[in-house]
Structures are given as C-alpha cells and as structure tokens.
Chain A
C-alpha cells in the first residue's frame, strides 16, 4: 500500500542526489537511536524539510545529508514500531558547514522488565549488543536478524557463529548440539524462553537444536556464567532460545525458498518406501508371548528406489497483532522445511584389538567401506505467544510450541571393500547392508507466565510449564547379504557373486524403539529492592520443582535366511526366505523385555537466594547460593533375578556464585565471575543397556555414574566503542570433578568394542576468548576466536609381546584433551549492507581445530579429527518494499570432515598380507585416515514477504 509512495520517494531522492551532487558543500549528519535501549535504528527514514530530502540510517546508526544548500532545516525521523521523532532543527551556512543532530526515538511497545524489549527491532543484533552490555553475566547473543541473514536455517547451525562454540554434527553434516568452550553437549543445557524443555532424543537430555527452524527465534543467548536464579546444570554454558514476542502492531511475514544439495549430482538420493510401515511391533500388537512370523514384517521399507535431484524447500509465515488497546498481544508463527541431505563417508574400522607386530599396539584395521547416508527431513514448527497486560503492574503470557520432525534415512554400508579380516588381495568377502530409519520426533510445550509488581519494591514472577517430547523409530530395518569378490594377482576383478548369508549373521532385522519425556515444572521468583545504607539492593529468592517422567521401549527382531548352503544367489529382499532360527527370537518375552524398556523419574527441587547491588560507584556485585536436590529412579521390566534391573540415585548440590562487573567507563567494563555448577548424566547413560543402534559401536549404560560438579571462573573485558561494535576479551578456568567421558571398551565378548560412559579423573579446562565486531559504514566484520586447553588422564591398554610372558595386555596412563575439544576455534564473517539498495551480503568462515573424535581403549590409537573449516555465503536483496530475495550457499569449499589415527599407514600396510593396502590414505602422511565425510555444496534461495 505504501509501496509506490516509498519507491517514488527513493527515486526522487536518488535523482536529487545526482542533480545536486556538486553544487553545495554543507553537510548535515546525525545518529538515531532507541531512547530505551540505546540501539541504533538502522533503516529508519530521515526526512529533511522543507527540501524533502530523505535518507536512511546506516549500519552504524548514522545518517548523512551532503551538499545541502545553506539554510534552516527540520529533521523528521520515522520508523516502524516507534513514535515519530520530535522535530529537530539545524542550520547550515558559511562558517558552519557541518550540522549534527542526535535523535532519540520512543518505542510504541509497552515494556515492563529492564531488558524486555518488544517491537520489530527486538530481534536486531544491536539490541543483542545492548543486552550483552547490560547483562549481569557473561553471555553472547545472536539476534534474529543475524540468524536470518546468516547462511543457517536451523538454530544449531547458527550456533557455530557464536564465540567459543563448536557444533556436533549428525550423519548428514547438520549441526545438532553445541560444544561450548570444549565442553561436550552433556555439559550445556538448552532453554526455551528460560524454561527447560525435555528432549525427544533417545540419547541426550537436552533438545537437539536442529529441531528449531531459525526463523522461530527472536534471539539466541549463550550464557557462560550462571547466577543463582538459573538452573545449575550447565558447565559449558546455557543456551536460551528466546522465541518471538507479540508485536505492538499488525505484523505479517512470510517466506518460501527452494534449494538443492550438489551431492545428488554425483549420485541419486536413495529412498525407501514409507508406506506399509507398521508403527507398532508384533509384540505390541499381539502380546509378548506371540511368536512373530516373517510374514508379520513388511518388506516395503527394505525396497529402495532412486530420487534423482531432490529439491529442498522451506516455508514460513508469522502473523501477529495487538488488540484491546494494546493490552492483548498475539503472535502465531509456523514453518515447514523439507530437506534432502546426503553424506559419503569413507571409513576404516580399527579391529577390536591391535596387533603386537611390528610393535606394541600396531594398528590393525578390520573393515573398510564407503558408507552413504541419504536423509530426508520434514520439519514442521508452530508457535504461538499470547500476552495480556492488565496494567503496568501485572502481565500474563502464554506460550505454546509444537515441533514435529519426520526424518527418513537410508544408510548403505558395503562392509570391508578391501581391508578386512579373512581377506586377501585376491579374495574379499563383503557384507553390503542397507538400513532404513524412519524417525519421528515431536515436542509440545505450554508455558504460562505471570509478572506482578506488588509494590514499588516487591515483584513476583511465576512460570508453570508442561512439556512432552517423543521419539519413535517404527520398524528400523536392515538387510544384508554377502558379496564375494575374487581378483587376479593384478587386482582385476575375476568374479563377484552375491549370495544370501547363511551363517549366524542376522540377514534382516526390524526394530521398534520409542521414548517419551514429560516435564511438569513450576518456577517462582520474588524480588525485593530495599534501600540499605541509603543504597539500592536487589534481593531475589525463588525456586523450582520439576517432575520428569521418561519411558523407553525397545524391541528388535533378527531373522536369518532359510537357505541350505552359502551359495544361494541374492537379488533383493524377496529372494531371501527368512525364518527365526530359534523360536524365542520371535517372541516379545525375549526381544522386548530388556533394560532399555524402562520408566524413569527425575524430581528436581531447587531454591536460591541472591543479591545484587553496587558495592562501589562502578562495581556491581551479584551473588548468592543455589541448592539443587535430585532424586532419580528407574525401573525396567527385567526379571527379579536380574541385577541392576532398577536403581535410584539421590544427590544434593550447593552451588554458590558471585559475579562482579566493574565499569571502567560508560562503554567498557571488566567482569569477574565464579560459579559452581553440575551436570546430570543422561538417562541413556545411566540405564545399563546395550544399545546396538549406534553408528559406530554398541553403547552400554552405567548406573553407577556420578553426576559431574564443576568450579568455574571467568574474567572478561568488554568494550562497546560504537553502537553496534564490540570488543570482548576473556579467560576462563574450569575444574570438573567426576567428569563423564565416553570410553570405547572391550567389555564383553572378545570381538566387540562398546562405548561406555564412565567418571574419569578430574579434568581441568581453561582457555581464552576474543570477540571483535566493527562496522565501517556499509561494511562490517565480525570475528571471534577461542583457545581451549583441557586435560584428562585415563588408563589405556597396551598389548605387546613380552620377553617372558608372551603377549600381554597392560594398562598405561595417557593424558589427552577432552573428547571433542578443539584447541583453536574461530569464526570470521564479512558483511556488506547497503540500505539504499536493500542489499545484505555475508561471507561466513568457521574453523574448528584438531580434536579427538573417538577415544580408543588402546594407548596411542585415539581417532582424531582434522581441522574442519566451512565457508558459507548468504545474501539478501530487497525487491520491493515488502519483498526480499534471499539466498544461502553452504560449504563453498566442499570441506570434508577427516578423522585419523596417529599411526603411519605405511606401517599398517607392511603388516598386511601380500600386496594389500589400506584405502583412503593421504600419500606420504604419517597417520592413517580412519574416516572421511563429504557433504558437498548446497544452496537455497527464496523470497521473504514482510507486511
């Protein structure tokens, strides 16, 4: 509606600029900011009357009119969400060629809390800087605008742009969890609007952040030092996803885009047929005594077809308004993403035990393969926030969120293409395997919050939250067969025969797994601001109680081929006559009664008291203590003769913290924080069950795990030189007692390696962080760097030939960094922003240094990851006043993820029989490549509409 007027105004402005270009020399300039937050109002319209010149506010918050004829002018500023500015008068002429003005704008939104910012601008990165500056604690913030402009479409991928954060990726290369300051995902909690949300994941306690489309967010806070009023189970940090608030006026935005991953130019997307999958297992339908027949299982999900060149798409719409004279605000936002991702993964698997020749712990690869992942993810998110402002002292808000994700993953593993036990240069037995996984995850959360200012000095706020998170894996199915490849002495293939395996191998498996996590939680806080010794002090006290119920079900059927000998040819799933070799294997009493079939409860009660005051004129002190009590129990359906069929764990923690903020000047400060925090083991870590669904090794839980406790120290210097610029430099130190590390252990059965969580020796973790953000007119640079150093000492096996006792396995201590901790991580983004053209471009580079990917049980054979860097490009161009074009290109350099073992591959080759070499190696290197994952380049482009 306003489009033509606006456009014509811009055209007039442009014409005027050209026509008038060299006639005058006077300049009028100024800056425009929010009176409340001080943030610059980029893009605000500035009109110079009476000559009717217009311009817009630049990235650094400034505007400039050049070549103005001498005279008296009035400056008028307007922008959405703000009251029109007061008229500012300026005068130019001989003797005063430069006139300057500073214009403060009043937001139309009603705000109650100190840092509660509403309105359209709430998601800007300048607000983010202001919040960081004003915050009582050490934190970093990503604004919605930064995320929108970033190359990332999920919150998890956006996380990697935050200082000190690396991301743990899933099979498709998509970020899922954050590693903060070298601390693994277990040490970091995730909140949504300050409330802890349960996870649909069967392994981790906290919500995987790739479930959230980034456009649902107003901002993402990474808080690295905890105050007593925050939940104490974060050692690396707390991530708070602040969802969009209701706007102060009618708002409608919509977007849609399409994209493509170039990995599917090299190969098609391999899909399986989804229809016909039964959501319940035979034992769930017909009882645990029922003897399942092969005919009870569908073959459709083991039937594969190619989808050439699949197209990705994303859609989103947000609508909001405020009614009843501004008292009632409503926002509703929905999004849908359909993404096809693929990975090619070269893997060399170390055998369960190294060789003793040529020396102790000689690397011995057992299998190699080129694995392919094909994943289609459909993600649907709906959220709604309603707030009602009774009066300036009372406010209620209700937040509802529902996220649903279907993901269909086809994994193809041709095991042992060249290296392998029982293989030679001339004959190899390969076991190709397909696995089909339909994963359904959903989360629902309802949060009701109230804020009440009881008097000038006393305020109360409370929260009641109900959440439920579920995951289902209906009929995860695998099929494998034998491929016998015979080569001549020159390595040429003589023959390939595909046969049905009749050994003890399970030819076809079907697994049903589902879990749910339900939380009922109540939070309450009371703030009292008395004046003591004539100075304001803020006392806060409060607590929380959470009752969590978790259930888990796991049922796997394994069938064998009913063929007389190993030479029956294999063509497809229908060519395999299946049967259960022993009847018990078909009955739920054997397959579904296990330790992974359990109900667990966790009751957390916490209380705290904290005080905040100015100890000196420029020294703010915030400190206090929090007590958290945890009561955990689990109960499986195992028989009474089974040890560890149930268990309970109780503990209480006292968590003091103190935070100093010393303001050197108005825009620079030094912060010093100490806090004690904990990390609770995940349910999956505690239940003593072997989970065979892991992609690497089977996983074994440990009910004797203790929770981790940590002392954390933080020192940070911060400078906010200009409105959007910042320089942060800090150091941190953490000491963890009973840290939980995943060990690869040779627990049961000689050939099998298991991953088991264990409490290791105390860990120290320290490092330094630096953040630098600067804008030069249209250009911006945003850089951060983190150095982390952690050390843990654990016993490792050495297997060696001894003089007297033959081959012996002994334990030797080895010191290493924590798993996943990179010494160096950094991000560099270059931004270009042209308000007039409506063009935004960002080139983002992310670097993660060398780190341990997998800890080996054997000395010196840990699997390390090479430094991983990605280069992504994103851009936005305004097409009309309401429509913006955007594009994102990910992984421009096609960087592979490469993992290696510090053992020369030439030595491995020397130990292998006749003329036979390990694949995927880097010529001339002194290591052995254990894994290489390729994701290829992908892109996405679309339009965004904003009313």
Chain B
C-alpha cells in the first residue's frame, strides 16, 4: 500500500515537471550580435571613414575609406553632386539601407582608388591592366536594401574580393567580387548616365529587384570572366541606351534562376544598346558576348548593335528561356572577320530565332534549312556578311586596322556616335514599350525613361539617347 503511495507520488512529480515546458522556455534566450548604429548628419571629410555610416556626403568633398563602410538597415547614405570617394582593396560600401549618389553632368560623383591611372593601351593583357585587379570592393547591397540610386556616377577599378565584410548573403561565396551587387526583389535599383570602368567578375549582379539601367557606359567589365548587367530570378525593368566595350562575357543578361517566393518572373525589356568587342573571354558554343536570355526569363530586345562580339546574342534552350513571352528583332551585327560572322547565330543549347528585321538580313547567309531550335556547330557559312553594311562611327575604324580582334576594351579617344549614312540610322522599332517599375523622381527614382529610338544602338543621330 505504502509503496503504491510512493509510486503515485513519483508519477505525480514526473507529471508536474513534464508540464514545465513554459518554465524552461522562459529561461531560454538567444542573442546574436547587432552592429552599433552610426551618428548621421553631415559626414566629416577630414578623417578616413570606417564602419557604420549614414547621413550626407557634401559637394566638393573627397572622402577616404579606412575600411568598409556600412549603411545599416533603415538608414540612408546620400551623396551630393561632386563627391569623390577614395577606397582601397580592403574597403567597399556595404548597403543594408539606402545609397543615393546624385551626381550631375557638370559635377559627377566618383568612386575610385587614389593614385591609379587608367591604361587604355590596346591589347593589354588583363593581368597587367589595373582595371582587372580589383582595387576596391564596390557597392555591396544586402537583401534588405530598399534603394540604390546612382546618377552621373563613376565607379572605377572595383572588383576586389568581398572577403570578411558581412554575412553570407553578401559574401555569396569565397571570392565574390562584383562591382555592384543588388538583391532585394522589392527594392529599386536606378542607374542613369553613369560609368563603370574595370572589374574582375560580374560587373553588376542583380540577383533580383526592380531596375532601371539607362544611358550608362561600361568599359573593361569582367576580368577573366563575368557578365555585365546580369539580372537573375525576380528582376524586372528596362535596360536601355547603354554602351559596352570589352566585356568578358555578356553585356546584358536575363535569367529567372533563383526567383524568390513572391517575386515576379524575370522580365527585362532591353533596347538601343551598343556592344563593342563583347565576350573577350568566351569560348564559342558556351556563352554569348552581347545579350543572353536564359532559364525562364521573359522580355524583349530590340534595336541593339553588336560590333565584333565574340558570339552573337542568344536565346538559350537548356535551360529554356520563356520563349513564349520573349520578342526580339531589329538587331544589328557587324563582323570584321569570318570567326565572328560564323557565330552571329551560334550553337550549343540555343534557340535564337533569326528575324527578318535583323541586319544583315538572315536570308542573306543562313541556309533555308537552318534549324534554329538547336543549331549545330558550323551550320552555315558567314563569309557573305563579313564587313557588311558599315555603321560608320564618328571615330572608330571598322574593320579594325593593325590590331587583333578585341584589342580595344575601352573608349579612350574613340567616338562611337553615328555619322550620317550609318547603317544604324532609321532601322529601329520605336513601338517597344519600356517596362517602368521604378518611380519617376529626380532623387528617389528615375530622372528619365528614354523611349526606344529609331537609330540602332545607344547614340541617336538627333542627340538623344546616351549622353556620354
């Protein structure tokens, strides 16, 4: 009897304690370190900057980065016109909040590295070119960044490995080194009238976001590899009137890979961009050197000009782009030599459909039985369209004289504006509708959505388009 009492007491005790979830849970706590907040206000230019930052960088000042600066979530770093930021290989700009750089045509902002000179000598090996060393870390936006706005801003010599700057969402893998990273599907990324010079990997990795990339100039982007405006799953917007020269891989790329839950399908409208010597580092059959639509991406690309790009624009069939919702045409291609012309319609997992509005007209060189959904290597002979219909740039010899292909990777003293009689004039389709997903605002949005122009490429004979 007594033993039963004891047993019951024990069971009662056990039952009491097993109901103690709450007691134990109340005692548990998890704390993960949070970086301290910055002071804000006008940012002094007399000491090197380091760590958390917010506030205003004022006109005319040069700011030196002593280490990576970090705009915390919810805060804004604002650059007035005429600000210079000098970074080094151990610094960059980490953006959890907003970054707004409002340069003007008269007073552009400059992100650079002090004491480095651009070397635009033709045919310079990338290992000897300061553009491809990665001298600072660039602009690194986390998934919480609601707004990245760059107007009339130079981004020079970026591309250093991010290393230890932040958590894994920024340093995506060991050696991540994009000039600009943007990755918020609900955030906006506006880049207008700006310049990027140099790089080591993807120049702009837009993992997702609402974008507006207009009238910019990209020189020497990518290193031994890397796409330039690389939009991934969940990116929507318009990319237009950009000028690219000497990119490692593509100038503009769209893919729906990595589309987050709740983010839209990648949908990029591209028009009126010029690509010169694109895809310097690619092997035919694997990538493109100008424009590429891949894996579930929809959109449109019209009125672009491709000059001596290693491989022509591609619509990829493995994994398949959203070909049902992708339109294209009025695209111009120029080849100095047969090795280029033979890749106007490339091979290796592509399904780029030749369009009668393309220049040169595909019927001039593609055989009647050309199987565009899966073309094989050497499916046609491009001899007849080598050096066909010269675009007559103001100052750029075509065909290039005395230098191998891809010798020029920067503009230097060249001028790619059109001269009367250019084959690019009047061949465009101006019925394309831009996909505007960012607010129109002189500070917090896009200044101007330039509508498609009738002249192919980024420079219009009437002076509109790219203003550089």
Q: CB within 8 Å of B: which residues of A? A: 351-353, 355-357, 364, 421-424, 426-427, 429, 484, 486, 489, 502-506, 532-533, 535, 537, 556, 558, 560-562, 564-567, 579, 581-585, 589-591, 593-595, 611, 613-616, 619, 621, 623-625, 638-658, 674, 676, 688-690, 692, 698, 700, 703-704, 706-707, 709, 711, 737, 746-752, 797, 799, 805-811, 911-914
Given A532-B6, A582-B159, A654 contacting B23 (CB threshold 8 A): yes
Q: Does A649 lie within 8 Å of B259, measured CB to CB?
A: no
**Roughly how many angstroms separate A351 CA and B351 CA in the complex, as a whole number?**
20
Nearest-CB residue, chain B, relative to A651? B28
Q: Are A656 and B13 in contact (CB under 8 A)?
A: yes
B101 CB–A CB distance under 8 Å: no
Most chain-B CB neighbours within 10 Å: which of A352, A624, A748, A752?
A: A748
B349 sits at the interface (CB 8 A):
yes
Task: Tell whether, in the assembled complex, residue A656 and residue B134 are in contact, meaning their CB atoms are under 8 Å apart.
Answer: no
Q: Is the CB of B376 within 8 A of A423?
A: no
* Given A706-B28, A750-B258, CB of A582 within 8 Å of CB of B90: no
What are 23 inter-chain pairs, A to B, with CB distance below 8 A?
A353-B296, A422-B349, A426-B347, A427-B377, A484-B283, A504-B222, A504-B226, A532-B6, A583-B89, A584-B137, A623-B13, A639-B68, A641-B52, A641-B166, A644-B167, A647-B33, A674-B14, A748-B170, A750-B255, A805-B264, A806-B265, A911-B320, A913-B349
Picked from A429, A505, A639, A689, the residue with its CB within 8 Å of the CB of B168 is: A689
Main secondary structure on B side of the interface with A = loop
Q: Is the CB of B134 within 8 A of A621?
A: no
Residue with the greatest number of chain A CB neighbours at <10 A, chosen from B161, B168, B348, B373:
B168
**Inter-chain contacts of B70 with A (CB < 8 A):** 641
Known contacts A421-B319, A426-B376, A504-B224: A623-B257 contact under CB 8 Å: no
Q: Are B10 and A658 in contact (CB under 8 A)?
A: yes
Bound-complex Cα distance A719 to B137 (A) = 70
Note all chain B residues with C-beta closer than 8 A to A912. Answer: 318
Residues of A within 8 Å of B347, CB to CB, are 424, 426-427
- The 3 nearest A-B residue pairs measured at CB: A750-B258, A590-B163, A582-B134
- Hey, which chain B residues are within 8 Å of A423, CB to CB? 318, 348-349
Q: Given A692-B174, A752-B172, do A649 and B30 touch, yes or no (CB 8 Å)?
A: yes
From 230 to 268 in chain B, residues with beta carbon under 8 angstroms from any chain A beta carbon are: 232-233, 248, 255-265, 267
Nearest chain B CB to A557 CB, angstrom units: 9
Residue among B4, B13, B183 with max Cβ neighbours from chain A (10 Å): B13
Partner of A583 from the list B68, B133, B225 (CB cut-off 8 Å) is: B133
**Other CB < 8 Å A-B pairs besides A565-B281, A747-B168, A750-B257, 20 of them?**
A364-B319, A421-B349, A422-B287, A426-B377, A504-B223, A581-B224, A582-B177, A611-B6, A615-B3, A639-B68, A642-B165, A644-B33, A652-B27, A654-B17, A747-B169, A750-B232, A750-B233, A799-B259, A808-B265, A912-B318
Contact of A642 among B30, B166, B281 (CB under 8 A): B166
Asked if B28 contacts A560 (CB within 8 A), the reply is no
A424 and B373 alpha carbons, distance in the complex (Å)? 12
B89–A806 CB distance below 8 A:
no
Give the chain B neighbours of A426 by CB distance below 8 A: 347, 376-377
Contact B51 A535 (CB under 8 A): no
- For B226, the chain A residues whose CB sits under 8 A away are 504
Question: Contact: B3 with A806, CB < 8 Å?
Answer: no
Contact of B163 among A364, A589, A613, A615 (CB under 8 A): A589
Report the Cα distance A502→B23, complex, angstroms: 60
Taking a contact as CB atoms closer than 8 A, the residue among A427, A535, A584, A706 that contacts B160 in the complex is A584
Contacting residue for B33 out of A581, A614, A645, A809, CB 8 A: A645
How far apart are the CA atoms of A747 and B21 in the complex, in Å? 32
B residues 347-376 touching A (CB-CB < 8 Å): 347-349, 351, 373-374, 376
Alpha-carbon distance between A806 and B259 when the two chains are bound, in angstroms: 12
Task: Tell whether, in the assembled complex, residue A647 and residue B30 are in contact, meaning their CB atoms are under 8 Å apart.
Answer: yes
Report chain B residues within 8 Å CB of A502.
224-225, 281
**B70 → A minimal CB distance (Å):** 4
Q: Provide the bound-state CA to CA distance between A483 and B165, in Å.
A: 35
Compute how far the CA of A934 lies from the CA of B399 in the bound complex, rounded to whole angstroms: 57
The verdict on A640 contacting B51 (CB below 8 Å), with A421-B318, A625-B13 known, is yes
CB within 8 Å for A353 and B13 given contacts A560-B224, A591-B163, A811-B261: no
A752 touches B17 (CB 8 A): no
Return chain A residues, CB-CB under 8 Å to B316.
422
- Residues in A whose Cβ lies below 8 Å from that of B33: 642-647
A561→B166 CA distance, assembly (Å): 28
Given the complex of chains A and B, what is the CA–CA distance between A624 and B11 in angstroms?
9
Complex CA gap A674/B14 in Å reads 9
Whether the pair A806, B264 counts as a contact (CB closer than 8 A) is yes
Query: If the complex has contacts A656-B14, A913-B374, are A703 and B298 also in contact, measured as CB distance less than 8 A?
Result: no
What are the interface flags for B150-166 relative to A under an 8 Å C-beta threshold, 1 for contact and 0 otherwise?
00000000011101111
Q: Once the chains bind, are A809 and B296 in contact (CB under 8 Å)?
A: no
Least Cβ–Cβ distance between B12 and chain A, in angstroms = 10
Residue of B nearest to A626 (CB): B17
Whole-angstrom distance between the alpha carbons of A651 and B351 in the complex? Answer: 58
For the complex, what is the distance from the CA of A810 to the CA of B256, rounded to whole Å? 14
Q: In the complex, what residue of chain A is closest to B162 when comparing beta carbons?
A: A590
Judge whether B106 is part of the interface by a CB distance below 8 angstroms. Answer: no
List the B residue with the shortest CB-CB distance to A616: B3
A648: which of B31, B262, B281 is its contact (CB, 8 Å)? B31
A652 with B374, Cβ < 8 A, contacts A353-B233, A582-B177, A642-B35 known: no
Q: Which of B63-120 contact A (CB under 8 A)?
A: 67-68, 70, 89-90, 94
Taking CB atoms, residues of chain B closer than 8 Å to A809 are 233, 259-263
The reply to whether B322 and A590 contact each other, CB–CB distance below 8 Å, is no
A649 to B27, CA, bound (A): 10
Q: Which residues of A contact B20 (CB under 8 A)?
A: 654, 656
Let me know if B45 is at the binding interface, CB within 8 A: no
Q: What's the least CB distance linking B260 to chain A, in Å?
A: 7
Which residue of the partner chain A has the closest CB to B256?
A: A807
Measured between beta carbons, the chain A residues less than 8 angstroms from B24 are 651-654, 709
CB of A750, distance to nearest CB on chain B (Å): 3
Q: B257 touches which one: A489, A639, A751 (CB < 8 A)?
A: A751
**Beta-carbon contact of B261 and A503 below 8 Å:** no
Are A589 and B90 in contact, with the CB atoms below 8 A? yes
Contacts of A364 in B (CB 8 A): 319
Distance of A748 Cα from B168 Cα, bound (Å) = 8
* CB-CB nearest in chain A for B10: A623
Chain B residues, CB < 8 A from A582: 89, 133-135, 159-161, 177, 200
Interface string of B190-219 (1 = CB under 8 A from A): 000000000011000101100000000000
Which residues in B have their C-beta under 8 angstroms from that of A355? Answer: 295-296, 319-320
Q: Closest A-chain residue to B132, C-beta based?
A: A581
A511 to chain B minimum Cβ distance, whole angstroms, is 9
Question: A582-B133, A625-B17, A644-B33 are known contacts. Are A749 and B258 too (CB-CB below 8 A)?
Answer: yes
B residues 312-329 in Cβ contact with A at 8 Å = 316-320, 322, 325
Instruction: Tell whether A615 pairs with B30 under 8 Å between CB atoms, given A581-B223, A806-B322.
Output: no
Q: Are A657 and B14 in contact (CB under 8 A)?
A: yes
A640-B36, A807-B256 are known contacts. Are A703 and B30 too (CB-CB below 8 A)? yes
A-side contacts of B143, CB under 8 Å: 748
Q: Do residues B319 and A704 form an inter-chain contact, with CB atoms below 8 A?
A: no
**How many Å lie between the Cα of A582 and that of B287 in the bound state?**
24
Q: Chain A contacts of B2 at CB under 8 A?
A: 532-533, 535
Among B23, B28, B30, B172, residue most surrounded by chain A Cβ atoms (within 10 Å)? B30
User: Which residue of chain A has its CB nearest to the CB of B4?
Assistant: A615
A502–B132 Cα gap in the complex (Å)?
Answer: 13
Collect the chain B residues with CB atoms within 8 Å of residue A351's CB: 319
> Does B29 make an interface contact (CB < 8 A)?
yes
Collect the chain B residues with CB atoms within 8 Å of residue A688's CB: 32, 167-168
What residues of chain B lie closer than 8 Å to A808, measured between beta carbons? 259, 264-265
A residues within 8 A CB of B168? 595, 688-690, 700, 747-748
B175 near A506 (CB under 8 angstroms)? yes
User: CA of A674 to CA of B15 in the docked complex: distance in angstroms?
Assistant: 10
